[in-house]
Structure 1
Amino acid sequence: MAPSRVQDYDRRSAPRVNFGRPGTVRISDAPPVEAFVCDLTREGCRLVTDAPIAPGQKVQVGIAHLGLTAGQIVWYGEYGYGCKFDVPLAPGAITRASGPSNVTALHGAILPANPTVTSKLGLRARLAVIVGASVIGWGAVFAVAMFLLG
């Protein structure tokens, strides 16, 4: 489908949820820009942003509780940009994304493109830490008792 400038953005293949949440848009390797995700379906969304996005541009849309979703700008107009997702969202994704938001738009904030992910300790390492702390604790109690009784 060739991207177009439209006056009537209501030509939709599926009813959209009036979403109204902050999000981000990533274009290529550029830093993310703030956006407002107005409408949302499993197939796409309507975005409002001050950033100029070229028609046909491939983007990644960041939505709280969903993460990044790849898509393409298929229309633009006075109501924002229409983005069609490359792969439809999973069933239940819109309900999950519509839950309580923990995201606050920070004007001018730039998020890292690839945040560092830290992993938890493995099960054996966690057990070793717990056992080691217990041995040291009981050793201290025994040492104090021996000193007081000695």
Structure 2
Amino acid sequence: MQAVIEVRRDDPRRESRHFAHRDGEIEPAGSNSVSGVVTDLSRSGFRIVVDEPLAAESVVWLKVGGHGPFMARVVWYDGTAAGCEFAGKLQPELVERLLQA
């Protein structure tokens, strides 16, 4: 599957976000993994649509396209999707691989 890449220039965030539609999974600390769809990705975080509730400030591990796990914390959860911040910024080359894997 090829990812569609779109840089959102009107977003005031620190890092450029890229539109994505990538199957992935997250594993909350101490729980089983949960499948989801990563809908945007940046060096500093991601948004993922999941069917399971996630608690804000909880630690999760992300896997996408055979890459990872990458440690992150849940910043928000709205009942459908979660916004997460990576523990450390990803290298730009790694972001490109995640989008295209």
- Under a length normalisation based on structure 2, what TM-score does the superposition of the two structures give? 0.80
DSSP 3-state at the match of 1:51: coil
Aligned length, in residue pairs? 91
Where does residue 50 of structure 1 map in the other structure? Answer: 51
Deviation by residue 1:54-96 (Cα, 9 ceiling, x = unmatched) = 0111111111143110010112226621100001112301111
Runs of 4+ displaced beyond 3 Å: none
8 Å Cα contact 2:51-2:80 kept in structure 1: no
Q: Any gaps of 5 or more consecutive residues in structure 2?
A: 1-10
* Aligned counterparts of 2:78 and 2:15: Cα–Cα separation in 1: 19
Where does residue 12 of structure 1 map in the other structure? Answer: 13
Q: 2:23 corresponds to which letter in structure 1?
A: P
Are residues 11 and 91 of structure 1, via their aligned partners in 2, closer, same or farther at CA, if it must alter by over 3 Å? closer
CA RMSD of aligned residues (A): 1.8
* Aligned counterparts of 2:95 and 2:80: Cα–Cα separation in 1: 21
* Aligned counterparts of 1:42 and 1:31: Cα–Cα separation in 2: 25
8 Å Cα contact 1:66-1:93 kept in structure 2: no
| Correspondence 1:10-49 to 2 at 5 A | 12-49=13-50
Q: Any gaps of 5 or more consecutive residues in structure 1?
A: 1-9, 102-150
Deviation by residue 1:34-59 (Cα, 9 ceiling, x = unmatched) = 01100000100001101100011111
Larger helix share, 1 or 2: 1
Identity of matched residues, %: 30
Larger relative CO (CA 8 A, sep 6+): 1 or 2? Answer: 2
* Aligned counterparts of 2:30 and 2:82: Cα–Cα separation in 1: 20
Q: 1:64 corresponds to which letter in structure 2?
A: G
Deviation by residue 1:91-147 (Cα, 9 ceiling, x = unmatched) = 301111122x4xxxxxxxxxxxxxxxxxxxxxxxxxxxxxxxxxxxxxxxxxxxxxx
